Amino acid sequence: MRFRGTLVLLLICAALGAFVYFYEIKGGEEREKKKQETNRLWKVDSATIQQIDLITPQEHITAVRKGDKEWKITAPRAVDADGDELNRIASSAAEITRESVLEANARDLARFGLEPPQLTLRIKTKDGKEHEIRYGENNPTGNSAYARLPGSSDVMLVAGYTASTFRKKLDDLRNRAVLNFEQYETNSLDLQSDRGNVQLTKDNDKWWLQGKQHWAADSAAVSGLLSTLASSRVKEFFDGNPDDYTSLGFEKPLVDVRLTFGKDRAIKHLTIGLEKSKLAMKGQKVSKKPDQKKGTADVASSEIYIARDESRPELFFVDKEFMDKVRKAPADFRDKALASFQRWDIDSMTLANAKGTFNLAKSEGGGDWVLGDSKKKAKWDAANGILDALEKPVKEFIDSPAAPATYGLDKPAIRVVLRQKGQVKLECEFGKETKDGVYAQVKGETSVKVADKESMEKLGKGESDLVEPPAAAPPTTAPATPKK
């Protein structure tokens, strides 16, 4: 009887739990969802919104969609738009819901800030339909805002955060990217400044410094520059007339950046001119003597520079931090490692030295290195030591080398070849030893480098140094002698 009573209680608890889950929790979610759908002011897919108008007593902004993600501001004047911000506004506009109707047929709309409205949002969809909502003040708690629909005097409460989403000024919606391009699709970059001319090209996913010499570039340094160019934001916009100024400095820019990206090798061109404090309008005299009594505004204007992206008409300012990051010398991008390669891509290598020629390859599982046709298991540290030696920073660069024999590179003492799927990815030869290291040269590069002497130790291995010793046989135990 006690067991039957316990079973009944368990069944009651299970039924009660199921009721709570399906009605209270699951059902509550469904009811809340239906409530939100019922309270939506209009059913619109944000992707179908073609035009957005934000109207305040001070300004009327119109933005028109030009693609899936791109927008163009057409009023109060034509300027490039921040596509991400306009897409966020479109998403919010498609999901507006009323919290409640505060007062039906309100006689005094002005006391809610609705006559005239503080903000009007108007959207137009691809099929030509228009929707509009007018916003007033926030309620006393600040959590909600007063709103009404055109042709109606019913005062609604809507979430305050949705109203703040649409309270934007023109500059809030303008394209504030210094340069629009896909960083990881960049093919080449030409950077000119007072620190020199940097010419970078990408070949087989590797960056190279071009010029009189062909140098391997530091991928991290190149990525850092591209990230700065792609992610930096406009400090402020220049809204004057360029023709009213004696010069903006673009004829002799402080920084000139030209890059190509994508399969069609699209071009982006950024030039940076004078400091804001040095911009002079025609007929205005500019003192060349430093002003000892500069105010905060003057100091701020001396730390921003006028800039131009040739793909758009408007001019803008960038800050000193941006300038410091892009004013680079060729040496700043030089790869300090002996050789540049993607370590994880290498699946076979050849090491030739005085002790012989050794071919190593990754095992089928990719977890171990094996040596030769017999596929003897190689020592992990010894095999990876070869790659370590090639990645180590060099002691010195000789950029105008003499004949190879001068460095013992006509008859190299050591040669290393790295491959991926049978294709040679890198070839490096080592010659004579010097006081500080050993001469080395990577095939395809013009410079001779002085590598660390430790490289010779890691690369001077023989078969016994590379192969794992055979496992020791387990000791044999002599059979016990039977007792007489």
Identify which has the larger pLDDT, 29 or 316: 316
Residues whose CB falls within 8 Å of the CB of residue 305, separated by 6 or more in sequence, listed in order: 254, 272, 273, 274, 275, 276, 317, 318, 319, 320, 323
Whether 130 and 153 share a structural domain: yes
Identify which has the larger pLDDT, 341 or 309: 309
Whether 384 and 424 share a structural domain: yes
pLDDT in tens, 62-115: 999 998 889 999 999 999 999 999 999 999 999 999 999 999 999 999 999 999
- Per-residue pLDDT averaged across 215-226, rounded? 92
- Per-residue pLDDT averaged across 456-470, rounded? 90
Q: Examine the pLDDT at 380 and tell me if it is beyond 90.
A: yes
The rounded Cα 158 to chain-centroid distance in angstroms is 36
Domain boundary among 122, 150, 173: 173
Does residue 438 fall inside a structural domain? yes
Q: What is the pLDDT of residue 223?
A: 95
Amino acid letter, 60: H
Residues whose CB falls within 8 Å of the CB of residue 123, separated by 6 or more in sequence, listed in order: 44, 49, 51, 52, 53, 90, 93, 130, 131, 132
User: Structure tokens of 244?
Assistant: 């009213």
User: Structure tokens of 436?
Assistant: 């500080």
- Per-residue pLDDT averaged across 32-52, rounded? 81
What SS3 class is residue 469?
Answer: coil
Does residue 168 fall inside a structural domain? yes
Measured between alpha carbons, how far is 266 from 262 in angstroms, rounded to an integer? 6
The beta-strand segments (E) located in 194-265 are 196-203, 206-209, 215-216, 236-238, 255-261
Whether 125 and 195 share a structural domain: no
Whether 318 and 350 share a structural domain: no
Q: Examine the pLDDT at 305 and tell me if it is beyond 80.
A: yes
pLDDT in tens, 314-370: 999 999 999 999 999 998 999 999 998 888 999 999 999 999 999 999 998 778 999
The rounded percent of the chain whose pLDDT value lies above 70 is 86
**pLDDT band at residue 182 using 50, 70 and 90 as cut-offs:** very high
Whether 315 and 391 share a structural domain: no
Residues whose CB falls within 8 Å of the CB of residue 182, separated by 6 or more in sequence, listed in order: 230, 261, 262
Q: What is the pLDDT of residue 35?
A: 47
Identify which has the larger pLDDT, 23 or 86: 86
Cis omega (within 30 of 0) on the bond before 76?
yes
Burial class of residue 285 in the structure, from the number of CB atoms within 10 Å of its CB (0-12 exposed, 13-18 middle, 19+ buried): exposed
**pLDDT band at residue 294 using 50, 70 and 90 as cut-offs:** low
- What is the chain's mean pLDDT, rounded? 88
- Per-residue pLDDT averaged across 122-135, rounded? 96
Q: What is the pLDDT of residue 278?
A: 93
- Per-residue pLDDT averaged across 240-251, rounded? 94
Cis omega (within 30 of 0) on the bond before 482?
no
Does residue 291 fall inside a structural domain? no
The residue range of the domain holding 425 is 343-466
From residue 377, alpha-carbon distances to 354, 365, 468 in Å are: 22, 13, 6
The full DSSP string for 328-369 is --GGGGB--BS----GGG--EEEEEETTEEEEEEE-TTSSSE
CB 176 within 8 A of CB 305: no
The total domain count for the chain is 3
**pLDDT band at residue 300 using 50, 70 and 90 as cut-offs:** low
Whether 254 and 277 share a structural domain: yes
User: Structure tokens of 319?
Assistant: 């800050």
Whether 137 and 197 share a structural domain: no
The rounded percent of the chain whose pLDDT value lies above 90 is 72
Does residue 439 fall inside a structural domain? yes
Q: What is the DSSP letter of 230?
A: H
Measured between alpha carbons, how far is 130 from 175 in angstroms, rounded to an integer? 26
User: Structure tokens of 38?
Assistant: 């019922």
Domain boundary among 147, 173, 199: 173
Q: Examine the pLDDT at 409 and tell me if it is beyond 60.
A: yes
Whether 154 and 53 share a structural domain: yes
Does residue 7 fall inside a structural domain? no
Whether 361 and 223 share a structural domain: no
Strand partners, 72: 64, 80
CB 355 within 8 A of CB 298: no
Whether 329 and 215 share a structural domain: yes
Identify the sign of the CA torsion 3, 6, 12, 13. Answer: negative
Whether 187 and 214 share a structural domain: yes
Q: Examine the pLDDT at 148 and tell me if it is beyond 60.
A: yes
- Per-residue pLDDT averaged across 377-406, rounded? 94
Q: Examine the pLDDT at 384 and tell me if it is beyond 60.
A: yes
Q: What is the pLDDT of residue 454?
A: 84
- Per-residue pLDDT averaged across 430-448, rounded? 92
